[in-house]
Chain A
């Protein structure tokens, strides 16, 4: 009787999982890892299950002419991102990055808020992790971590590879030892993904490790190119912005399965593409940082050929308080961008340059900008005290016949009533 229940259960189990029923006895569990193959691509063992691969590039191979100014640009980019995040924080939002990568994290590691201090500069590392899962969570492991950093005239690249799960502790120890050389972590979407998974791995193995300040290029890249090229994966950027094409690349979603296949077969060839993919990602990240800096710097001829969203980028830079913002906003406004005009005029307004602001609003008014009309009405009411003109701008809006929501309509009516009252009051002597 008992036996029957067990076999029913097995039968259901096999069906549930889509297998032909087999006896448990014949099943091969815990297959030994196939031995006898030497790793490829120059990987060297650093433990029973972990390997490392080291490559050097001359900086100019990656298009970097001056290592010093490149290092400087990485830190400047970090500052910019940091100031934008902090500005957002003041707006009421606070996220993980805000209290991690902010003041304390930075100052402690030697980047001051203002000009970059020459001494005690944190060393930046570019990183990218390949994981066994497509989402985060405790069941995703990092099996390949690519790191790159500048060293003299060279860029050094290291890739840490984990051969099988039981080696994770020794793997993480070696990774940690290397990561402790650095204080600024540059990635593409690593702030919310790679770094989380890596930190989770340490916790799962009862170790403590937290990465330091994060410079995640995804955010600024989205400002620059999302409206131009749409999807902004690192591959899209490479192809459409850096103008490079990967020939034998493996799509990201296939990476976990390649690794599982490697674990089952022990055949290094199955992960060869993954390793090259990772190397490529890290190098592209370096080139990307270099390019974005050139755009911010704005001096070079070659940058002018690159299309990007000047309004959105200008806005981003404005939030970081970067003077370059002004230039890009102006260019975007002149090209007819309403959003840029709005931001630019608000900048002028803040600086008290009313003439310039009014000029922009008037240009925008021709394109039926409700924002501009209200700003003009406000300007003539509060600053010029020319109520008649103020009224004329509010009236202008009503002639456009635009579908405004209830609240806006209410506000306009209120404003008009007030202005008319003021006008009468002003006209009445005494």
Chain B
């Protein structure tokens, strides 16, 4: 069917006019090995029931390596049988030794539950005597004991391990004594600050295991990432073997880059990504193609899904029945399960999702994926595209560009996309902020012996902690000596786990229909907001932040709502101001406030603005640490800055911000998402042009301090990067893409932003390089 559709698309000249690139990725033959002879009969027959008579080479290799006692990291695309690759050796070993146990760690609760379902249904087929349990915040108290006592495979997430399991490890004695394998899936999510937390959590986990005399082996899995081996070795602090030679077959894949047509040539306005994606998805679905659409926000997900359903309803009258679901965070687990199984068994033919389905949730094979906008990273784009495609058949992915500069850059420069390797992940587990937090937790869990290491030597931090009275050194050991439960005060993630429960009160009902995290709810569930849930439309009657409830009732408005969010930064306290690289760098505490104060009412389909409403909700505040680069007039770089015209100053500031966000993670071993950037040409607080680089984790994780310490390297590195970049006027890898048609129509400043940036950086680097050469 898909080949017919592709033929049609090829012949369709209106469609072709908007295609900027059509990549055909040739099919790959599968490479197989026989099932190893030592594998238990029961597993062999369970596999055979699923139609598996041979293993892919990478499954075979991981089996041999794991059984050989090696730590492995498996990196193969979606739908390549990764789950089996790690389950096979684990299940075999667990069957051989009836006391041994395994722990599976997934980054989110949703993924854990999905895995449990998959393990029970497909892998074990109910015939193997292995109990698999999920242990997370949702596990009822009544079954927690049996999980601890009887679970052979316990599935959990980092947060539960951190606050629930490790600080209460004596309840898990039986489990830890016999802990043989730890499977960590989706390790690419553990990068930057989150990854640094994860490394420390793994240190704690190993410490407890060793207290009970076990030394578990690790099996990691990752989606596409630039440096999987390096990342997993940093996370585990052990040797790891990389398994990335994918033996699974794949069909021919077509990857089309689609730029919506211009509707206003003069102003350069294109047709919207929502309607274009809908149109493409509908024609695929009508052609009988199982399709997934990825949207960039929850709101867009619901909008696109509703539009698709409406269009198909017209079609449905012609005698077809195509069910299309939307999928995003905030649905009830039962609803999520229903959609997932509907997709697997084919009842649901189409789904519109946020990046929630980008990760490994099993939704079976799909034929086509439509990316409604570039998802922000090369790795994500491949991951989303990879959701379409089965072993042997043809598949299609279409990237539909939005109007944003980055989308426009990618769509116009497909060679950039196809040549660029996916982003790398970094971690810095010895970041003092993070290390201190985890050392406290570790000391609570088990006293430290005098010379016991934690990653590196722990004595320095412990002695600082003793001075504060949280630990006590006596009898050759460091003991926790504080009344608190330290894990409670340490969050592994940027956002708080608090959720708002959404309650439908239509006609006296009192039914929970979904949930949403606290800070998003202020942007999406304000009084008067239209809330769309699986195509049903509700209006928010009242958001009760205190009781964490949002009351909604069914509505039939002809509009949806979108809030206008303003973010500002307030300097709370400047701790120090140090000269660095010829300028001044201030470090201090700031408050980042995001507040939705108004919302727009937008008419469905036309997206025409038909009114406004007020939002009266407290701002979302984050107290964090920031470094502020001050380009004051009395410094040399500041004076170069002042020489530029004002609009150019603003442009340069923005470009420097993008550049630092791209390059600083390499030096700070964090992730771009860990850094917030704000630029102010006129800064009311410092009274000079200021560039803020702040920590996205509340309270900060030492990135600001690190930034100053490595400023010279970062600035020189930036110059190197931007001048070596093959782009003409900026691209996502360097200073960020510029508006389309820059230079020709003489937009904005009329100057090439890349040239401006290079010139400025050369002068700036000159100021501190000279200092060095002159014998400083």
Whether, in the assembled complex, A227 has its beta carbon less than 8 Å from a beta carbon of chain B, the answer is no
Nearest-neighbor residue (CB-CB) of B145 within chain A: A96
Q: How distant is B364 from chain A, measured CB to nearest CB, in Å?
A: 36
CB-based contact A16/B433 at 8 Å: yes
A93 and B447 contact, Cβ closer than 8 Å, known pairs A12-B433, A13-B436, A405-B508: no
Contact A260 B482 (CB under 8 A): yes
**Docked complex Cα distance between A31 and B447 (Å):** 17
Contact with A along B157-183 (1 / 0, CB 8 A): 000000000011110010000000000
Decide: B432 and A165 in contact? CB cutoff 8 A.
no
- Would you call B484 and A133 a contact (CB within 8 A)? yes
B: number of interface residues (CB 8 Å): 47
Smallest Cβ-Cβ distance to A201: which chain B residue: B170
Name the B residues within 8 Å of A9 (CB-CB).
432
A to B contact number (C-beta, < 8 Å)? 115
In the A-B complex, list the 9 residue pairs whose CB atoms are closest, starting with the nearest. Answer: A166-B475, A139-B444, A256-B483, A30-B473, A203-B170, A139-B480, A137-B167, A165-B479, A135-B485
Nearest opposing residue in chain A for B170, CB measure: A203
Q: Which residues in A have their C-beta under 8 angstroms from that of B485?
A: 133-135, 137, 139
Decide if B474 touches A166 in the complex (CB within 8 Å).
Answer: yes
Q: In the complex, which of the residues A12, A31, A138, A260 contacts B168, with contact meaning CB atoms closer than 8 Å?
A: A138
With A8-B709, A17-B465 already in contact, the answer to whether A138 and B475 are too (CB < 8 A) is no
- Residues 223-247 of chain A, each 1 if its beta carbon lies under 8 Å from chain B, else 0: 0000000000000000000000000
Q: Among the listed stretches B284-292, B365-373, B456-464, which one makes contact with chain A, having 4 or more residues with CB under 8 Å of it? A: B456-464
Binary A-proximity of B673-712 (CB < 8 A = 1, otherwise 0): 0000000000000000000000000000010010001000
**A94 and B142: CB pair below 8 A?**
yes
**A17 and B436 contact, Cβ closer than 8 Å, known pairs A132-B483, A256-B483, A406-B509:** yes
Contact A165–B465 (Cβ < 8 Å): no
Residues of A within 8 A of B472 (CB): 165, 260, 263
Which residues of chain B have C-beta atoms less than 8 A from A305's C-beta? none
A15 to B576 alpha-carbon distance, docked (Å): 12
CA distance A9 to B461 in the complex (A): 10
Q: How far is the CA of A31 from the CA of B510 in the complex (A)?
A: 61
In the complex, are the beta carbons of A137 and B168 less than 8 A apart? yes
The reply to whether A27 and B443 contact each other, CB–CB distance below 8 Å, is: no
Q: Cβ of B433: which chain A residues have Cβ within 8 Å of it?
A: 12, 16
> What residues on A are CB-neighbors of B347 within 8 Å?
none
Given the known inter-chain contacts A133-B484, A137-B168, A260-B469, please indicate yes or no for A13 contacting B432, CB distance below 8 A. yes
**A38 sits at the interface (CB 8 A):** no
By a CB distance below 8 angstroms, the chain A residues around B483 are: 132-134, 253, 256-257, 260
The contact of A138 among B446, B488, B510, by CB within 8 Å, is B446
Ordered by A's residue number, 9 sampled pairs between the chains whose C-beta atoms are within 8 Å are A13-B436, A24-B463, A29-B463, A95-B142, A132-B481, A134-B484, A165-B472, A203-B170, A406-B509
* Chain A residues within 8 Å of B432, by CB: 9, 12-13, 16
With the chains together, A138 CA to B482 CA distance in Å? 12
Roughly how many angstroms separate A96 CA and B447 CA in the complex, as a whole number? 28
User: In the assembly, what is the distance between CA of A407 and CA of B665, in Å?
Assistant: 57
Using CB atoms, name the residue of chain A closest to B708.
A8
Complex alpha-carbon distance, A314 and B512, angstroms: 35
- Interface residue count for A (Cβ, 8 Å)? 46
* Min distance, Cβ A239 to any Cβ of chain B, angstroms: 25
B671 sits at the interface (CB 8 A): no
Residues in B with CB closer than 8 Å to A8 are: 705, 709
Cβ of B547 within 8 Å of any chain A Cβ, yes or no, is no
Is chain B's interface secondary structure helix, strand, loop, or mixed overall? helix
Chain B positions within 8 Å of A29 at CB level: 463, 466, 473
Of B446, B460, B469, B477, the residue contacting A165 (CB under 8 A) is B477
Shortest distance in angstroms between B699's beta carbon and chain A's nearest beta carbon?
10
**Nearest residue, chain A, Cβ from B171:** A200
- In the complex the two chains form, is B468's CB within 8 Å of A14's CB? no
Bound Cα distance A263, B480 (Å): 13
Bound CA span A10–B702, Å: 12
Bound form: Cα–Cα A136–B169 in Å? 11
Q: Is the CB of B145 within 8 A of A27?
A: no
B774 contacts A by Cβ under 8 Å: no
B466's nearest neighbour on chain A, judged by CB, is A29
- With beta carbons under 8 angstroms apart, the residue of A19, A256, A263 that contacts B464 is A19
B276: Cβ under 8 A from any A Cβ: no
Q: Give min CB distance, B383 to chain A, whole Å.
A: 36
**CA distance in complex: A27, B463 (Å):** 8
Q: Contacts of B508 on A, CB cut-off 8 Å? A: 403, 405-406
- Give residues of chain A (79-109) contacting chain B, Cβ–Cβ below 8 Å: 93-96
Q: How far is the CA of A257 from the CA of B483 in the complex (A)?
A: 7
Minimum distance in angstroms from A206 CB to a CB of chain B: 9
Chain A residues with CB under 8 Å of B709's CB are 8
B164 → chain A, closest Cβ, in Å? 10
Interchain CA distance A263-B482 in the complex, whole Å: 12
Residue of B nearest to A200 (CB): B170
- Inter-subunit contact B474/A138 (CB<8 Å): no
Decide if A164 is an interface residue (CB 8 Å cutoff): yes
Q: How far is the CB of A117 from chain B (nearest CB, A)?
A: 30
Q: Does A204 contact B (CB under 8 A)?
A: yes
A72 contacts across to B, CB distance below 8 A? none
For window 196-213 of chain A, which residues contact chain B by CB distance below 8 Å?
Answer: 199-200, 203-204
* Neighbouring A residues of B476 by C-beta, 8 Å: 30, 166
B41 within 8 A of A: no
Interface check A115, CB cutoff 8 A = no
Inter-subunit contact A165/B464 (CB<8 Å)? no
A251 at the interface (CB under 8 A from B): no
Determine if A371 is an interface residue (Cβ-Cβ < 8 Å).
no
**Residue B445 CB within 8 A of the other chain:** yes
The closest CB in chain B to the CB of A133 belongs to: B483
A164 to B473, CA, bound (A): 11
B317 to chain A, nearest CB (A): 33
A13 touches B467 (CB 8 A): no
